[in-house]
């Protein structure tokens, strides 16, 4: 799975961490804002009441343990580039090359890497199926290609049907 979600909900739902590429990072982790190392830390959890100020100890929790610079969320910000080290750029493109059927679920397609993944699958005659509540960049791409399909609706309704279909195909072997 290649996901743009940063909320960690895939893992709460039981998706394999090993098989999931978090191409926009995750809010479960933080890293040094100065990049003194590649180390990822658990996201600091600090809860404040309205108007309450951070204590000295809480400010320390927000700092890199190695260099003292402030931590930052381990997510891709708007002006930043994809890379392999943090965001599995090369792994995602490699996976795209091996993909015969790509389900695109609930994304508007507004960022560059997902677009490249879809182009890569289509260029190798793979099938793309865009599953979304409304029209988006990928549904427009799918409509123009003979190997592109669009399913309009909730992913929570449509995906279970795929699971059933694949189970049937599997037992029919």
* DSSP for residue 63: B
Site size toward Zn ion, by CB under 5 A: 6
24 is catalytic: yes
CB-based burial label for 112 (10 Å; 0-12, 13-18, 19+): exposed
Q: How far is the CB of 34 from Zn ion (least distance, A)?
A: 5
Site string for Zn ion, 109-138 (x = CB under 5 A): ------------------------------
Closest CA to 33 of 83, 80, 70: 70
CB-based contact 13:33 (threshold 8 Å): no
Q: Which is nearer to Zn ion, 38 or 171 (CB)?
A: 38
CA 40 vs CA 37, 57, 119, 149: distances in Å: 9, 20, 31, 39
Length of the chain: 173
3-state secondary structure of 171: helix
Site string for Zn ion, 51-80 (x = CB under 5 A): -------------x-xx-x-----------
Q: How far is the CB of 36 from Zn ion (least distance, A)?
A: 3
CB-based contact 92:21 (threshold 8 Å): yes
Q: How far is the CB of 30 from Zn ion (least distance, A)?
A: 11
Q: How far is the CB of 32 from Zn ion (least distance, A)?
A: 3
CB-based contact 3:22 (threshold 8 Å): yes
Question: Under the criterion CB under 5 A, does residue 40 sit at the interface with Zn ion?
Answer: no
Q: Which is nearer to Zn ion, 71 or 131 (CB)?
A: 71
Q: Which is nearer to Zn ion, 65 or 124 (CB)?
A: 65
Q: Which residues bind Zn ion (CB under 5 A)?
A: 32, 36, 64, 66-67, 69
């Amino acid at each position: 799975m290649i996901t743009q979600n940063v909320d960690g909900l895939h893992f709460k739902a039981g998706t394999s961490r090993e098989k999931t590429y978090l191409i926009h990072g995750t809010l479960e982790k933080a890293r040094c804002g100065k990049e003194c190392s590649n180390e990822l830390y658990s996201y600091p959890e600090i809860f404040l009441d309205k108007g309450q100020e951070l204590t000295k100890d809480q400010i320390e929790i927000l700092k890199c343990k190695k260099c003292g610079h402030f931590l930052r969320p381990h997510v891709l910000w708007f002006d930043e580039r994809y890379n392999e080290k943090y965001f599995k750029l090369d792994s995602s493109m490699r996976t795209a090359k091996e993909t015969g059927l790509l389900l695109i679920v609930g994304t508007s397609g507004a960022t560059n890497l997902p677009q490249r993944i879809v182009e890569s699958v289509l260029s190798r005659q793979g099938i793309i199926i865009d599953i979304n509540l409304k029209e988006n960049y990928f549904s427009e791409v799918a409509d123009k290609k003979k190997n592109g399909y669009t399913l309009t609706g909730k992913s929570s309704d449509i995906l279970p049907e795929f699971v059933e279909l694949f189970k049937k195909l599997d037992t029919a072997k």
